[in-house]
Amino acid sequence: MLTGRPEASRSTRRSFPVIARLILLASTAAVSAAAPAAAQEAAQPAPPAAQDAEPVSTDASETEDAIVVTGARRREEQVQDVPIAISVIGGEQLEQTGSINVGRLTQIQPSVQFFTTNPRNSAANIRGLGAPFGLTNDGIEQGVGIYIDQVYYSRIAVATFDFLDVERIEVLRGPQGTLYGKNTTAGAIAITTRAPTFQPEARLEVSLGNFDHVAAKASVSGPLVDDVLAVRLAASRSNRRGTIYNVATDRWVNEQDNLGLRGQLLWRPLSTVDVTLSADYNRQNPECCAQIYVRTGATQRPLNRQFAALAAAFGYAPPSTDPFDRLTDLDTPLDAFQEIGGVALRAEWDVGPGTLTSVSAWRFWNWGPSNDRDFTGLPITTVSANPSRQNQYSQEFRYAGSGGRFDYVAGLFAYHQKQHTTGAQEQGAAASRWLLNPSSANAGNPAALNGLRSENDIRLETTSLAAFGQLSWHVTDRLTLQPGVRLNYDRKNGAYVAIVITGSGSTTLNNDQRGVLAPQSYRPVFSDWNLSGDFTASYRPGEDVLAYATYAKSFKSGGINLAGLPLDAGNNPILGASTVEPEKVDHFEIGLKTQFLDRRATLNLAGFWTEIRDYQATVTNGQLGVLRGYLANADKVRVRGVEADFSIRPSDRLNLYASGAFTDHEYVRFVDAPCPPELAGGAAASAANPPSAPGTPGGFSPANCDISGQWLPGISKWAASYGGEYNHPATFLGLRGEAYLGIDASYRSRFSSNPSRSAYTDIHGYGLANLRIGFRTDGGWNLFGWVRNVLDAEYYEVLATQSGSTGLVVGQPGDPRTYGITAQARF
């Protein structure tokens, strides 16, 4: 029983950069200046946005105002006219459903998966594809592109930040390389923020909840020069106490601490020209991210070197063996500080039959972590940190036009990225017994590894160039043929240097020490050209029915290993593993988009079949002491399935929605994959000593395993989201409006949480339900209470194993039940 509670949050330990201070001061001044104008406008009802009419969008259009998208084919069009599997979520719905970041989208978009153990080690996938499951390796790219206001964000860590002043999100499923600047082989998440307006407006939102949750968002927009110059400023701040209690430090960990600032300046010198300058700064500074004891499973390591015996030898026991007690005793400081920001200039000029667009951007990312990679309160690994800094520059030119029976898009894209990581890992007094082979004479000598330290210098420089285009030929009023092509060049230059010193300061290492932290120095290089393309045929048999079929041939750039290489029998790096081949994608899709009941109902269906050769996988390194995975190519994987999106508005008072996805997935061929933990940790198998049965202590382990036919990690076979909202006219505190009740629920079936499926790391299926009840007026006021995970379901976001084949399984429990109240106002 806990008798005390630690402090709710930490003070900010780093000052804002100059750009953040300037935006914050400008926001404060603008809000003060706009207050009188906003007060005059408060009594006037705000015009409804078409994208915000559904409580949660599938692909549905409104009865009167169809949802309009721009990211799908780089021009404005109704979503039901786009022959792509696309979902649209309006800004109001993000706020109503508590979808505060990309991670939360998974609860309303069953085809989106998001996994994270900390902001850097995150992955956003669509239909199970995009980024390999496991620890992030900077030498490969995301297969799902995240774009904010048409700017490509290379760091998936941005997905953990709160959405700020968002107008809508478009989730495009399947390859999109013939339309987007950066190649995206699995799909794209295109986020559009609210633009500056020439009519004064302001928005304010404040939320309070359990776990000391406090959040506030504000935005203000208006003209500086009538019809010529307009400004928009937005800010958000959110905090929440951690959900896991560290008994060793008397503190709550895995907290939330987010700050977001954004400013935009719109210049309209002519009615045909818009120039938008934007700047943003986002910062997180939580005490995070702990993974805690879940269970143990038998490996092939000798029994006295598995978790139970090792813990007993130190007189150690975890604070709880029930992970949903949410207790830990980690003895290494936790930190997940990061800041992301940048400046972008977008110019749009209506010229000739179309629009010429230029998007120039610079972005930075600073990462300052600290982790406890042994997941226990013992001094096994006392330092694990890889602080990193990145700068990226991108330029895109694009022309989208229409003429007669043809619509077309053509573009050029250039991207350059520089990243520098300076990592450190240090072992403690318990490392020798925990990590060394039992046959080693040093296995019982604490001094053998105590103070052993690796300091890493990691550099990456990436250049991408592309030319792309797509043509839509309206052969008849019903039939459209749409070919697309992309020419792409990628080059990656890396450098990895690891210097290892002993606790006494010597660089002379014995074989045991090299087996735990190996000195490495290598410079991987990858460069390649590729030509990809797609072809879509769409046919409209009726006014409200669209059928389409697509084939896409796509590539994801090859990669380089920048997390250290596996070792050979002499504990030397295997240089042949320094690069991985490009992924080669063949994608087939058919779809049907329909509306009926006077367009009050929408049903969209999609079937897809995707095969990838040389699939890039992050695999677990089975060597003792090695904490990070490395990259490898699986020969072939396949993902295929069916998706359905349905919504109906039978009356102005009620709307309902349901989305579902069935996804069949497997490694078609991966014959030399690392083995799961139950087949690891034993002596090397041979012809004389064949591999032992899984989980045989002291057994013989194969060098690798054939996992052909097994599941891919992170993908549920079944996933669904469903819900609705009912409203009724009401009066509250003298204000006329409507009361409403909404529910949003989701389900996903069992999935694997290990690159090579293990009996110990499958995550059972689970369902979540969220409720909201509130009152809103036509004048822009909205007050509602909310409960997330209303049934307090116990589930895991990820599971992982401790290095060294000890059998320890750790995990990150999902959020417990949370509740609170939110007040919103628009002026």
Least confident segment among 20-34, 264-278, 692-706, 766-780: 20-34
| pLDDT band with cut points at 50, 70 and 90 for residue 35 | very low
Mind giving me the DSSP string for 367-400? EEEE--TT-SSSSSEEEEE--EEEEEEEEEEEEE
Share of the chain above pLDDT 90, in %: 71
Q: Which two tokens stand for residue 649?
A: 């508005």
Distance between CA atoms of residues 786 and 791, nearest Å: 13
What gap in Å lies between CA 422 and CA 215, rounded to an integer? 34
Closest CA to 259 of 422, 531, 15, 526: 15
Tens digit of each residue's pLDDT (9 = 90 or more) over 625-657: 443 456 788 999 999 999 999 999 999 999 999
Answer yes or no: is pLDDT of 100 > 70: yes
What are the residues facing 353 on neighbouring strands? none
249-253, 570-574, 777-781: least confident range: 570-574
Q: CB of 751 within 8 A of CB of 762? A: yes
Question: How does residue 72 score in pLDDT terms, banded at 50, 70 and 90?
Answer: low
| Residue showing tokens 């609170």 | 820
Enumerate helices (H) and strands (E) in the chain, giving the number of each: 6, 45
pLDDT tens, position by position, 139-172? 888 889 999 999 999 888 888 888 999 999 999 9
Question: Look-up: residue for tokens 């600290």?
Answer: 370
8 Å CB contact between 327 and 245: yes
713-753 confidence digits (pLDDT tens):
999 999 999 999 999 999 998 899 999 999 999 999 999 99
pLDDT of residue 492: 95
Cβ neighbors of 609 (< 8 A, separation 6 or more) are 587, 588, 589, 638, 640
Mean pLDDT of the 110-118 span: 89
d(C-alpha 785, C-alpha 770), whole Å? 11
Tokens of 696: 């045989």
The average confidence (pLDDT) of the chain is: 88
pLDDT of residue 575: 81
User: Nearest-5° angle of CA 817, CA 820, CA 823?
Assistant: 150
SS3 64: coil
Determine the pLDDT at residue 804.
Answer: 80
pLDDT computed for residue 620 by the predictor: 58
- CB hemisphere CA count around 466 (13 angstroms): 32
- Other beta carbons less than 10 A from residue 200's beta carbon: 18
Are the CB atoms for 367 and 157 separated by under 8 Å?
Answer: yes
As a whole number, mean pLDDT of residues 72-99 equals 84
Q: What is the pLDDT, as a whole number, of residue 20?
A: 37
Tell how strand 700-701 and strand 683-684 pair up.
parallel
Binning pLDDT at 50, 70 and 90, where does residue 59 land? Answer: very low
Mean pLDDT of 359-382: 95
C-alpha 185/C-alpha 126 separation (Å) is 10
Give pLDDT tens digits for 4-26.
333 333 333 333 333 333 333 33
392-417 residue pLDDT tens: 999 999 999 998 899 999 999 999 99
pLDDT on residue 160: 85
**pLDDT at res. 323:** 97
Question: How far apart (Å, rounded) are the C-alpha atoms in residues 185 and 637?
Answer: 14
Are the CB atoms for 143 and 824 separated by under 8 Å? no
Dist. CA 433–CA 430, nearest whole Å: 6
Inter-CA distances, 48 with 53, 63, 593, 735, Å: 7, 13, 25, 19
Looking at this protein, which amino acid is placed at residue 510?
Answer: N
pLDDT digits 0-9 by tens, 545-560: 999 999 999 999 998 9
Residue type at position 85 = A
Report which secondary-structure segment, H or E, holds 96. Answer: helix 91-96
Would the pLDDT of 377 be above 80? yes
Give the three-class secondary structure for 51.
helix
Residue 618 has pLDDT above 80, yes or no: no
Residues 657/58, Cβ–Cβ less than 8 Å: yes
The residue type of 736 is R
Cβ–Cβ < 8 Å for 243, 252:
yes
Averaged pLDDT, 367-380: 94
Q: Convert the pLDDT of each residue in 682-694 to its tens digit.
A: 998 999 999 999 9
What are the structure tokens assigned to 328, written together? 């830990």
Rounded Cα distance, 119 and 116, in Å: 7
User: pLDDT, tens digit, for every residue of 273-322?
Assistant: 999 999 999 999 999 999 999 999 999 999 999 999 999 999 999 999 99
Cα gap 321→304, rounded to integer Å:
20
Within 13 Å and on the Cβ side, how many CA atoms surround 817?
A: 9
Radius of gyration (C-alpha) of the chain in whole angstroms: 27
The CATH number of domain 68-826 is 3.40.920.10: no
- pLDDT tens digits, one per residue of 434-449: 988 777 888 889 999 9
What is the pLDDT averaged over residues 29-54?
34
Give the pLDDT score at 621. 54
- Residue 161 has a pLDDT of 87
**Pairwise CA distance, residues 827 & 44, whole Å:** 8
* pLDDT band with cut points at 50, 70 and 90 for residue 33: very low
d(CA 680, CA 515): 16
d(CA 782, CA 498): 55
563 pLDDT band (50/70/90 cuts)? Answer: confident
Q: Which position has the token pair 């318990």? A: 430
C-alpha atoms less than 13 angstroms from C-alpha of 596 in its C-beta half-sphere: 7
pLDDT score of 132:
76
Distance CA 76, CA 93 (A): 21
**What whole-number distance in Å separates Cα of residue 335 and Cα of residue 370?**
5
Nearest to 14 by CA among 337, 238, 342: 337
CB 93 within 8 A of CB 67: no
The pLDDT tens digits of the residues spanning 324-341 come to 999 999 999 999 999 999
User: What is the band of 137 on the pLDDT scale with cuts at 50, 70, 90?
Assistant: confident
The pLDDT, as a whole number, for residue 263 is 98
Domain spans in the chain, listed from the N-terminal domain onward:
68-826
Q: How far apart are CA 581 and CA 490, in angstroms?
A: 12
How many angstroms from the chain centroid is the CA of residue 256? Answer: 16
Q: Reply yes or no: is the peptide bond before residue 705 cis, omega within 30 of 0.
A: no
% of the chain with per-residue pLDDT over 70: 89
Rounded to whole angstroms, how far apart are CA atoms 482 and 475? 10
Q: What whole-number distance in Å separates Cα of residue 458 and Cα of residue 139?
A: 10
Residue 431, classed as helix, strand or coil, is helix
Name the nearest CA neighbour of 373 among 567, 123, 117: 117
Rounded CA separation 193/20 (Å): 19
What are the residues whose beta carbons fall under 8 Å from the beta carbon of 543, sequence distance 6 or more?
A: none
Encoded amino acid at 593, one letter:
K
